[in-house]
Amino acid sequence: MPASPSDLPRLQQLHGWLTLGRWAGVAGLAGFWLPAAPLAGALGLAAVVFTPLLVHALWRLGRAGWLAAFAVLVGGMMLGTVALGGAGVGLGGALGLLAFYSYTWVLRGAVAEWVREAEEAALWTREKARWAAEAEEVVLSA
C-alpha cells in the first residue's frame, strides 16, 4: 500500500523513533566491556516501552503485514521462551531481543521508503494544484 501525504507526519515520527533505536546496536557492542545482565535489562526495558508505540503506529498506518510479522517473529520467540518453562530463559530472552532489534532495523529501512513515497505524493499533489492554478489563470486572462 503506497503511503499517502496525510501519513507523512506519523511516518516521520516513526522513522525518528526507529533511528533512535540504532543506538541499541551500539549498546549491544558495549556488552563486550559491560556486565551483560544490566545491559540486557536496559535493552529489554527499551523494547518493552517501545513496543506499544510501534504497534500503535503500525496499526494507525494500516500496515497489517508488518504487525503480523512482528507478532510471528518477536511474539513467537517470546512465547517459545515461556513454553520452555524457565529452561533456557536467558538464551530465549537474548534471542527475543535479537529478533526485536532485527525487526526494528529492517522496519526502519521500510519506513524510510514510505516517507520518501509520501513526500513524493505530497510534492505531486502540490504540483498538480499549481498547474491547475496556472491553467485557471491562463483561461481567465484570455
Q: What DSSP assignment string belongs to 6-31?
A: GGHHHHHHHHHHHHHTTHHHHHHHGG
**What value does the mean pLDDT of the chain take?**
79
Domain residue spans of the chain: 5-141
> Would you state the cell numbers that stand for residue 136, as one nine-digit string?
485557471
d(CA 18, CA 115): 13
Lowest mean pLDDT among 49-53, 100-104, 129-133: 129-133
pLDDT band at 29 (very low <50, low <70, confident <90, very high): low
pLDDT at position 34 is 65
Lowest mean pLDDT among 6-15, 59-68, 126-135: 6-15
> Would you state the cell numbers that stand for residue 95, as one nine-digit string?
534471542
Reported as a single tens digit per residue, the pLDDT across 41-98 is 888 888 888 899 899 999 988 899 999 999 998 888 777 776 766 555 566 677 888 8
Greater model confidence, 14 or 30? 14
d(CA 102, CA 116): 22
Any idea what the Cα angle at residue 64 is, between residues 62 and 68, rounded to 5°? 155
